[in-house]
């Protein structure tokens, strides 16, 4: 049976307190990194970005259609102006002037149709641009909320990490004062069961929170003060003291 002076066994509770604190801080850090708000916020931003890409594409397509429509109107307008100038000059054969006049009339009708189509495209562009602007605003708001949550998490996480580092440093300093064999035994127990050492207080193991059976208590009372005994339920080293009996 492994042995250690009762005072040294008692000091194991000090390092257990620090290990418990480190474990609690690790749980806090994990909970912060897995903040339940993040998945929905990240997914929402992704959807909003995807919708904005669709609207950006729509606005771009309509913009190109409008540019072509404007070009079509400009071209036919230029032809009309050239033909009207020629027509107004009065030069040329009568039949050619009549044909030219008919062509101008036809082109004016076509220009009117193109201008109506251009107006429809402009209205479509205005509508798409308005929806694009609204979506940009929505995305901005959602991204702002996500940024605020991330900033909050980073700030709180930084505090937890700082506290954990300080606790780990204190733990390392304390661990250096233990006999290596006792510390190794404690750390094996900690790794295996999650609790390295616990008080035996009025028959109850604080490692498991359970009242020990009469038989287990009888076996523990038979052990020498420097014997290392274990909790039958949690596996932790049971630290005994006459004041806790």
Cβ atoms of residues 197 and 16 within 8 Å: yes
pLDDT of residue 244: 84
Residue bearing tokens 């929170």: 209
By DSSP bridging, strand 204-205 and strand 237-239 are: unpaired
β-partners of residue 54 are none
CB atoms within 10 A of CB 45: 16
- What confidence score (pLDDT) does residue 209 get? 92
Could you give the domains of the chain? 6-22+179-244 (no CATH), 35-170 (1.10.287.1490)
Strands (E) across the chain are located at: 197-201, 204-205, 210-211, 229-230, 237-239
* Centroid of chain to Cα 37: 8
Both tokens of 3, joined, read 């042995």
- Give the count of alpha carbons within 13 A of 184, CB side only: 5
Q: What phi-psi label fits residue 194: left (phi over 0), alpha (psi between -120 and 50 degrees) or beta?
A: left
Give the list of residues 6+ apart from residue 38 with CB closer than 8 angstroms, or none. Answer: 146, 149, 150, 153
Strand arrangement, sheet containing 204-205: 210-211, 204-205, 197-201, 237-239, 229-230
Is 194 strand, coil or helix? coil
What is the structure's pLDDT at 104? 82
Three-state secondary-structure class, residue 5: coil
HSE toward the beta carbon, residue 229, CA cutoff 13 A: 24
Task: State which residues of the chain have pLDDT below 50.
Answer: none
Closest CA to 186 of 235, 222, 115, 153: 235
Contact 26, 171 (CB under 8 A): no
Given a contact cutoff of 8 angstroms between Cβ atoms, the answer to whether 244 and 198 are in contact is no
* pLDDT value for 241: 87
Which pLDDT value is given to residue 97?
63
Q: Cα torsion for 7, 12, 18, 19, to the nearest 10°?
A: 180
Alpha-carbon torsion angle 140, 145, 147, 150, nearest 10: -160
Q: What is the DSSP letter of 231?
A: -
Q: Is 81 helix (H, G, I), strand (E, B) or coil?
A: helix
């Amino acid at each position: 049976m492994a042995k250690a002076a009762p005072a040294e066994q008692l000091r194991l509770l000090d390092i257990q307190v620090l290990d418990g604190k480190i474990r609690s801080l690790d749980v806090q850090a994990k909970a912060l990194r897995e903040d339940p708000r993040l998945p929905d916020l990240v997914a929402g931003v992704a959807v909003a970005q995807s919708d904005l890409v669709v609207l950006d594409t729509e606005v771009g397509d309509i913009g190109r259609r409008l540019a072509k429509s404007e070009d079509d109107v400009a071209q036919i307008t230029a032809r009309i102006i050239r033909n009207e100038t020629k027509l107004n000059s009065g030069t040329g054969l009568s039949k050619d002037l009549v044909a030219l006049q008919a062509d101008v009339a036809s082109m004016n009708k076509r220009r009117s149709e193109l201008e109506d189509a251009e107006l429809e495209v402009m209205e479509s562009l205005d509508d798409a641009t308005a929806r694009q602007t609204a979506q940009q605003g929505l995305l901005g708001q959602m991204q702002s909320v996500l940024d605020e949550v991330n900033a909050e998490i980073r700030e709180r996480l930084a505090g937890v990490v700082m506290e954990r580092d300080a606790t780990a440093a204190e733990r390392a300093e304390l661990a250096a004062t233990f006999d290596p064999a006792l510390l190794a035994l404690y750390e094996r127990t900690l790794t295996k069961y999650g609790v390295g050492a616990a008080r035996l207080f009025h028959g109850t193991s604080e490692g498991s929170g359970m009242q020990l059976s009469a038989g287990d208590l009888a076996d523990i009372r038979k052990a020498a003060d420097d014997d290392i005994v274990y909790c039958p339920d949690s596996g932790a080293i049971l630290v005994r003291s006459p004041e806790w009996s």
